[in-house]
Structure 1
Amino acid sequence: MRVRASTVDGIFYPADREGLAQRVQGLLAGGGPAGTAGCLISPHAAYEYSGGPAAAAFQAAAAVPVQRVLLLGPVHREASDRLLLPESETYQTPLGATAVDQETVRRLAARDPCFALDDIPHLEEHCLEVQLPFLQTLFPQARLVPLLMGRTTARLVDALAAAIREEPALASEHTLIVVSANLTGYRPREEAQREAQALLAMIQAGDWRGILAGTEAKTLSSCGAGCIAAILAVEQGLGSPARILKLGSSLEVSDDERRVVHYGAIAFPKNKPWSNS
């Protein structure tokens, strides 16, 4: 059995099972009431930086009987013109193993040349891994569909949006969609603030084309912008019922005003307009 072992335990979150369980449960306890969101945007950084917003995002879906999680995120290392699916059969953290929904992964890999099976980017990438302890705590029986967007392009955004609309497993009301994304990359303080505000406005307006344009023009630096654009594109720009739950930045932990990252917890309702259930 192929296992995607944890790689940032002891760096981004505690490496021991008990310590990690306590940390996640403590964060969730402060994350707000359990809700019924169907899609989340959650940040990816060390838990001392982004754990609060991440917990708020996951609590927004904690009351949903989740059977499957479509976990989306960017590639931080070598870019690719593909939507990258894992060959691994399980994802491991100190809390245990989460099974990959291999049937759905195979269907995605076969539906469009944009999708490709490739374990290497998944083995190198941290953005999905840091979400897993929250998923394992709240939805221990849920199966995982991990997907990395190789770069932010209209072609990949269109392909991913089409899959979310058309694949029954992904459109199901029992599937939770989680986008792992920070609102900005490292930016000087004022620039980071402007970028975060601009991206949040686009998310609330459902302006996925604006997100693509801003990424191409380098006026947006969000790692995860393409995945955010894809979930908004599913609605074809008709307006997004996004709820901004919690915001934060690296300045809450670090005093480095030259390299600021903004984080956000954002939730979309369970009754997704593309749901077939």
Structure 2
Amino acid sequence: MATPRVRPMQAAIWNFYPINQNELIESIERCFTNAAFGPGRLPRRGARASEGPVVSGVAPHAGYEFSGPCAAHLYLEIGERVPQLDTVVIIGSNHSGYGGTFTTTRAFAEWATPLGKVSVDMEFVDSLLSRCPLVVDDVMAHLREHSIEVQLPFLQYIYGNNFRIVPIVAKHVELGEARDLAKAIDDIATSLGRNIVLIASSDFTHHGVYYGYVLFRENVIENVKKLDMNFISAILSLDTRRFLNLIRRYDATVCGYGAIAVAMEYSRLRGCTQGKLLRYYNSGELTGDEDMVVGYAAISFEPAPS
């Protein structure tokens, strides 16, 4: 039998997070304990399980020094409310342009980070490819993509390597396409008996000449925040149509808007009626730099109380 292929870590090489295991653990713990931008404490696995599960969420994917404290809010929520993970469907941004509207890959049986190897739920991937024509298999879309990989160390810190992933990246997405993928994911999870959490990996507005997107000439940090809050308002109300209309109206640079749209539609299918904003800030609030400003948000979706 051929040795299963392991996707090599890329985000660590590009300095999104430390490549050394101990330094990575320290970095993650700093994200959690950051009192100004992070939750201010370490997660206690399963401590709030009685509150019910997290169905899905949104987390950023920039370097840990910038967006890590924001992402930590979502992972604290998941870690404390979901004692045991089965399969995590992570929908990232397709920065490479390879593949189709939604792209997964069977090329890798495991994904590596400095904290170990995470297995792919290949049965789930195969079902997606056979049931949902919008999903294609293209390894090139995943070889140099960081948006999925940067989520893994947070999950590994809490759960070890005792969970599997379904890696998907999204390009330009219409409402019907988001609904189709969400329905396929829900149907497959039910048929395979998987208790899944879906994570949409996305940053918010990228503002500045470097990004080719300049709407504001003054008060950039505050104005980017106001713009992002327009998007977030639609997300929290699970109004996917309004969210996508806003993306088009502002020609927005929310890189993972397609992933977010799928998370919203999946959450509606799972009985959620609204989202919860756990934290928002932008890079300008961290650095004071208005030339390049990127927004970060951590959002969770949970079922409505019965």
Question: Which TM-score applies when normalising by structure 2?
Answer: 0.81
Correspondence 1:257 to 2:290: yes
With over 3 angstroms needed to count, the CA separation of the structure-2 counterparts of 1:169 and 1:27, relative to structure 1, is: farther
* Correspondence for 1:47: 64
Indicate which of 166, 182, 193 corresponds to 1:161: 182
1:236-247 matches, cutoff 5 A: 240-247=273-280
- Contact 2:60/2:67 (CA < 8 Å) preserved in 1? yes
Aligned residues: 271
* Correspondence for 1:268: 301
* Correspondence for 2:158: 138
1:57-136 matches, cutoff 5 A: 57-63=74-80, 64=82, 65-78=84-97, 80-87=99-106, 88-136=108-156
With over 3 angstroms needed to count, the CA separation of the structure-2 counterparts of 1:166 and 1:268, relative to structure 1, is: same
- Contact 1:49/1:252 (CA < 8 Å) preserved in 2? no
Indicate which of 213, 226, 242 corresponds to 2:258: 226
Letter in 2 for 1:262: G
- Contact 2:98/2:138 (CA < 8 Å) preserved in 1? no
Pick which of 126-135 and 31-40 moved more. 31-40
Q: 1:158: Cα distance to partner?
A: 2.3
Indicate which of 205, 209, 220 corresponds to 1:184: 205
Q: 1:191: Cα distance to partner?
A: 4.3
Q: 1:25: Cα distance to partner?
A: 2.7
The CA deviation string for residues 91-145 of structure 1, in whole angstroms up to 9 with x for no partner, is 1111110000000000001112111111111112111111110011112200011
Letter in 1 for 2:203: N
Correspondence 1:199 to 2:219: no
Q: 1:218: Cα distance to partner?
A: 3.5
Q: 1:217: Cα distance to partner?
A: 3.0
* Correspondence for 2:213: none
Task: Name the SS of the counterpart of 2:300 in structure 1.
Answer: strand
Letter in 2 for 1:266: I
Correspondence 1:147 to 2:155: no
Task: Name the SS of the counterpart of 1:37 in structure 2.
Answer: coil
Q: Identity over aligned residues, as a percent? A: 28
Task: Name the SS of the counterpart of 2:55 in structure 1.
Answer: strand
Considering only CA atoms, is the larger Rg found in Structure 1 or Structure 2?
2
User: Alignment RMSD, CA only?
Assistant: 2.4
Q: Partners of 2:17 and 2:67 in 1: how far apart?
A: 11
Letter in 2 for 1:9: A
With over 3 angstroms needed to count, the CA separation of the structure-2 counterparts of 1:168 and 1:123, relative to structure 1, is: same
With over 3 angstroms needed to count, the CA separation of the structure-2 counterparts of 1:43 and 1:56, relative to structure 1, is: same
Gaps of 5+ in 2: 209-215
Task: Name the SS of the counterpart of 2:117 in structure 1.
Answer: strand
The CA deviation string for residues 154-205 of structure 1, in whole angstroms up to 9 with x for no partner, is 3431221211332225996731111111122235525422321101110111
Indicate which of 8, 11, 18 corresponds to 1:8: 11
Q: Partners of 1:254 and 1:172 in 2: how far apart?
A: 45
Q: Partners of 1:252 and 1:215 in 2: how far apart?
A: 23
